[in-house]
């Protein structure tokens, strides 16, 4: 039997339900990894207070009411009984504290993005429309320093200061995507994984790649950035599917 949920003491309910839907769909697409990955969403003006998934809870079970409300400037966070995963705190806490334009952060070890992160050259060339979306908008971290505790998180935050860089390919690790909202960030995460898959599969053919010119790639990226409401509609449709299935993500 599902336990009843008391919403009376919870705030930011629309943001919580968007986050929960994103967790559920990420698991459905097999873009998560066991209980090791994490998403966060800033909820105050300077971005230092944020929602994040509980410590080592599977994405497929996360509900809106399960999300933790954390403060990146609170040194007592990790001493509390409901403390988040230490690497989630180190990475997301550092970025929310040091990169105010990173309103939402999604970090996964999705298969194709992680394959890309494992290559000696982890750049993603613009070989199709999806990969052109990320032209000059990705930063590659090629100095992996171990688990993302606070020092590693601070180092990663330093690489995201340019607002144009919305994706970090974390060399030898995975991918981290930032955005303005849950919808914006999840849409970018989804399309980056699709683009990485196309690139990896193209490499597997052993045939020469047809790479777009810089001018066409940049034009395509700008056109897609201006495409109306795609990210919001994407998430709304995913929520509609979950609602029709009777999912408890919004509890």
Residue extents of the structural domains in the chain: 13-244
Closest of 132, 130, 112 to residue 122, by C-alpha: 112
24 with 59: CB under 8 angstroms? yes
Residue 167: φ, ψ to 5°: -130, 135
E strand or H helix that includes residue 235: helix 230-244
Tell me the pLDDT of the chain averaged across its residues. Answer: 94
% of the chain beyond a pLDDT of 90: 90
Q: Looking at domain 13-244, which of 3.40.50.150, 3.40.225.10, 3.90.700.10, 3.40.50.720 is its CATH number?
A: 3.40.225.10
Query: DSSP state, 187?
Result: H
pTM for this model (two decimals): 0.94
Rounded distance, CA 180 to CA 177, Å? 11
Among 70, 61, 67, smallest CA distance to 15 is for: 67
Q: How far apart are CA 143 and CA 83, in angstroms?
A: 28
Residues paired with residue 108 on neighbouring β-strands, in sequence order:
175
pLDDT tens profile 74-102? 999 999 999 999 999 999 999 999 999 99
- What digits encode the pLDDT tens for the residues 151-160? 888 999 999 9
* Assigned token pair, 181: 């909202």
């Amino acid at each position: 039997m599902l336990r009843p949920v008391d919403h009376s003491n919870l705030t930011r309910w629309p943001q919580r339900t968007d986050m929960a839907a994103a967790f559920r769909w990420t698991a459905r697409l097999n873009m998560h990894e066991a209980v090791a990955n994490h998403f966060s969403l800033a909820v105050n003006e300077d971005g230092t207070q944020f929602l994040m998934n509980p410590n080592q809870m599977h994405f497929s079970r996360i509900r809106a009411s399960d999300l933790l409300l954390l403060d990146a400037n609170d040194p007592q966070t990790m001493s509390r009984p409901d403390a988040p995963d230490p690497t989630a705190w180190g990475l997301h806490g550092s970025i929310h504290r040091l990169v105010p334009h990173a309103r939402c952060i999604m970090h996964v070890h999705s298969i194709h993005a992680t394959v890309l992160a494992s290559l000696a050259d982890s750049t993603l060339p613009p070989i199709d429309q999806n990969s052109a979306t990320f032209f000059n908008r990705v930063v590659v971290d090629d100095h992996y320093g171990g688990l993302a505790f606070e020092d590693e998180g601070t180092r990663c935050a330093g690489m995201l200061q340019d607002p144009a860089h919305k994706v970090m390919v974390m060399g030898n690790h995975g991918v981290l995507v930032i955005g303005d909202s849950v919808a914006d960030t999840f849409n970018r995460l989804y399309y980056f994984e699709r683009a990485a898959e196309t690139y990896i599969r193209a490499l597997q053919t052993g045939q020469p790649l047809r790479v777009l010119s810089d001018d066409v790639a940049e034009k395509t990226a700008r056109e897609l950035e201006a495409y109306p409401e795609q990210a919001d509609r994407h998430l709304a449709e995913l929520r509609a599917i979950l609602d029709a299935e009777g999912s408890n993500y919004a509890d």
